[in-house]
Amino acid sequence: MSEKQYEIVMYKLLAMVLVGIFLAIGVGFFLGTVVGEANADVETPEYCYTQYSEGQIIVKCNELSDTTVAELCTILSSEIEEKMKVVLIN
């Protein structure tokens, strides 16, 4: 019995490797768009908001948004409270 020898010509081997690389890149791009951060849901507290611009997710928070001036004065020192004058116009 004679043994069969399988030979792959060099250009066929190179073509198979290139097809494999392009397939891997294609699958990577597909998974990147499906699972990527552009589709992410960002959960934020009430005093924060999110904005997506120029490929970046920006989260800005203002923890003092619901704070009154009286509450600020109790948080701050008494010197600042004496110097601060607030005028409310309705």
41-86: pLDDT as tens digits: 667 777 777 888 887 778 787 776 667 767 766 777 667 667 766 6
90 pLDDT more than 60: no
Q: Which residue has the higher pLDDT, 26 or 11?
A: 26
In this model, does residue 39 exceed pLDDT 90?
A: no
Q: Which of 20, 18, 19, 54 is nearest to 38 (CA)?
A: 54
- pTM score, whole prediction: 0.39
What letter does residue 1 receive in the DSSP assignment? -
pLDDT top residue among 25 and 3: 25
The pLDDT, as a whole number, for residue 81 is 63
Yes or no: say if 50 and 44 are a contact pair by the CB < 8 Å rule: yes
| Residue 71 tokens, joined | 């509450």
